[in-house]
Structure 1
Amino acid sequence: MNYLMQIRAFDDYRLYKQKLSAGQVSLWYTLMSINNKAGWSTWFTAANATLESLSGLSRSGIVKNRNVLKQLNLIDFSSNGRKATSYRVCVLYTSDSAQGSIQRSVQDSTQRSTQTSVQGSSALIKQNETKQNETDDDDAGITRANVIDKWTELWGFPNAIAMPEINEWLDALPADVVDFAITIAGEHQVKAAGSLKYMRAVIEGWQKRDISTLDQAKKAAEDHDRRMKSEHSGRKPTPAKETLPTWAQDTPEKPVSDGKLSPEQQAALDARIKKFKARRPEKEGAEA
């Protein structure tokens, strides 16, 4: 199965043929993910518990939505009693076999020279198709499938909400740029619950700054990290504000003393000193 052609055919099916519910879309993508892990076997098994965990659907939701998908010829399934149910994801795209048919016809009805010419043309067509596919993905070897695989490794297979947005990003930007954005999210240990929000912020930020190549994206990431490091290291600690304790504060009820005695306090102190001196001769005479 051609993974990318299957995904694109499914998107076209939803756009032009049949509107599907979120549960049906989620279950289809979940079965695609399991089929991928099974090596694209025609038939594969999947336990209901696994489908519940990956799709977010309940047991009854899985039963209901898989019946609809089967009626629409999008999947097929067969019960195995108490064992896990067997599934088959129907191929939605059509193989282009016209080229092979034309070549066989030419071989039967033309001379060897004509046949050689047709084969040369066929090789040129294949070469152009290969170049076109490489252009659709990116020049660095990163493909759409690589992007989906990296997302799956970090946060699980993209659900029905994430997959359309990922396709939009891949249509607007080279695959290696989107792949690098996922790498940044992984380095910052973004959790699955916040992955889509984080990726939106990164991609939209780059698009606003007209960043469309991997080199530009890497430079923007380096500039951001350098700026954040500079702001963090240059931030000075806020000095503690020194205040007088309550007992030393100047209030109307208790003004701060300037060290001088009032006339009344000075008179009282003088009286005490005089009284003390008057008593000293008496004590000295008693001791003699």
Structure 2
Amino acid sequence: MNYMKEINAFHTQNMFDPLSGSAVALWSVLMHVNNLCGWKKEFTVAATQLQAMAGLKSTTFKAARKELQEKGRIIVTSRGANRAAMYQMISQQIDYVQEDIREPEEAIHKTKFTPASTRTYSGADQPSNTEARSHTPQENILPNSTPTSLPDFTNSHNADRCSNHITDHPNVHTIDHTPAPFFKQDSGKQKQDNTTTTTDAIRFYQENFGIPSPFIMGDILSWTKDLSEPLVLHAMKLALEQDKATWRYVKGILQAWVKKNIITVDAAIAEEQAYRNKQHAFVNTRMQPTAEVLPDWFIKQKQQEAKQKAETSAATPKKDSAKEQRELEALLAKYAGNGM
């Protein structure tokens, strides 16, 4: 399906069978989506996505889709609840059949052959330029035209000379009396229509992120042209690994690479590996135990407390442990004797 030819045929058809503005907008969006899909015969797309791209509300969208179906512009196949409908675009081009209009053979054979050599003109009877031109079609008889009657002076010798003259010149082409068509037809190989303009980056985005809007599609093509398509694809893959399936996140990755002068996939992979190594080293450093650093005032306070405790213990008189032991034994012996 040729995109430009279909659009021209669609608008030409609208001149004779007009559509509403919402139906025209919806048809244009469906053609755009079909182009992104690689001109598949049938394709699916969510109704909410079509409404957003065409700028239509739910009720207006349904009415426009029904109008396109009734006027034979699209075919819609419902697939049940919670499933996107299946669409099929109907070609708007009309094939015109041209009939070959050939000159009747009777008119050709009625042309009387009159050799120029038999005509003699005197000075007064010589024809004017206009009259001479009027006799030209009859005088210049074509090889493939066979006159019905020949003059008496034509003999076999002249016929042989004419035949030999044509045979000796193979480059002489016979002229067909069939009128030429109104427009030139290419007799060679027909030029194939370039129906697929989707790049790998746009196709990857469509399969993994969703159908892009015309703005996002233009932005993808711009980044692909400025950097390279493999680099844009690599950025999309990194975004999917981070569970960030948005073009905004992909664009942020590309902008960071531009600031770091990264223009190849190998350079991006090397920068990513260096960043991961740095993160790994930082995590290991945090997991190692660290010695607690005490402030100076805390150390001085502890030293003063220890000094005061030592002074207090020195001022208190120490008891004689041996003397206390003897007194305890005497007391026990005394109470033991009274008990007996």
Normalising by structure 1, report the TM-score.
Answer: 0.49
Q: Name the structure where helix makes up a greater proportion of residues.
A: 1
Larger radius of gyration: 2
- The higher relative CO (CA closer than 8 Å, separation ≥ 6) is in 2
Normalising by structure 2, report the TM-score.
Answer: 0.43
